[in-house]
Amino acid sequence: MFSIGDFARLSGVSVRTLRYYEEVDLLAPAAVDVSTGYRSYQAGQLPRLHRIVALKELGLSLTQLRPLLDDLNAEALTGMLQRKQAELEDRMALERQRLLRVERRLRAIEREESGQMPPDVVLKHVPKIRAAAIRCQPGVGEFDDVPALVEPALYRLFEAVSGPTKASGPLFIHYETGPGDELAPVAAVDIGDQPLPAGEGIVELVLPAITAATTVYEGPVDHDIVGPIYGELAVWADEHGYDPRGPGRDLIISPPNEQGTAVFELQLPISARS
C-alpha cells in the first residue's frame, strides 16, 4: 500500500488531483483510516489512473471519459493517444513555422525602417526566352508551399536537359495565375532553338523580353525572406521611375547545398513610367 503522497509521486499527478478524483467518484482510495482519514492506494490502481490522465489529455471532460474507463481496451486507447500525438506534433510544427515567419517579418520591417536596400540592384534587359517547362499542379495559396511543389519538377527538368537537348541558362521559376487566382508556379529552363526534350508534363514556354530590376540573393529557400526582397526591388523601381510589370522570375544560380543555402538572381519585370 502507498500513502496518497507516495502514490501521487509514482503516478505523476498531484495529491490535490487524487483527492478530486475521489470526490467525483473516478478513483477511490484502496483504504481510508477511519481514525486519521489517511488515504492509501495500491499499485494495481495505477492503470486506471493512467487511463484517466490519458483520456483527459485527449481533451475529454471527466463526464465524457467516465463511461470509457472500463470499456476501452489498451490497444484502442494507445491508438487514440498516438493520433493525438501526431496531431500535437503537426500543431507544434505549424507554430514553429509561424514563429519563424513572425521573426522574418520583423527583420523585413527593420530593413524597411533602416532604409536598407538589396545590394547591387542592376537594371537588365532580359531577351525573349524559349523554355522547356513543367507547370506545377495543383496551384498553391501561399508562397510557403512553392518549394515543395516545384522541387520535383526542377529535378525532372534537370534530367531532361542532360540528354541531347542542353540547358542554355539556369533553371528558374516563373509564376502564372491559376483559374482560382491561386499561384501557379512553373519550373523552367531556357533551351533556345533546340528540340523540346521528352519527359512527362514538359511543355514549351515562350516568355517575352523584359526589362528587369535584378539582385543576387544567397540564403535559404524561403519566401518570407525572398518576398520582402522583391518588395524592396519594387521600391527601388518606384524611386527610379519604373512600375512593376508581372510576377518575378527566380533564376537558380546555385541549388541548395547541405546547409540549405542557395544562390538566386531575382528578376522583377518593370517598365518606364510614362
Question: What is the structure's pLDDT at 141?
Answer: 58
CB atoms under 10 Å from CB of 84, counted, come to 14
Strand partners, 236: none
The answer to whether 232 and 117 have CB atoms below 8 angstroms apart is yes
Average pLDDT over residues 198-222: 89
Query: Would you state the cell numbers that stand for residue 106, as one nine-digit string?
Result: 520583423
Q: What DSSP designation does 162 have?
A: B
Average pLDDT over residues 240-249: 88
Q: Report pLDDT digits (tens) over 27-44.
A: 889 999 888 889 999 988
Q: Report pLDDT digits (tens) over 208-217.
A: 999 999 999 8
Q: Report pLDDT digits (tens) over 152-195.
A: 889 999 999 988 999 999 999 988 876 666 778 899 999 999 99
State the pTM of this model: 0.59
Query: In this structure, are strands 210-220 and 129-135 parallel, antiparallel, or unpaired?
Result: unpaired
Distance set, CA 79 to CA 73, 74, 86, 168, 235 (Å): 10, 9, 11, 54, 54
Residue for grid cell 512600375? 243
Higher pLDDT, 222 or 174: 174
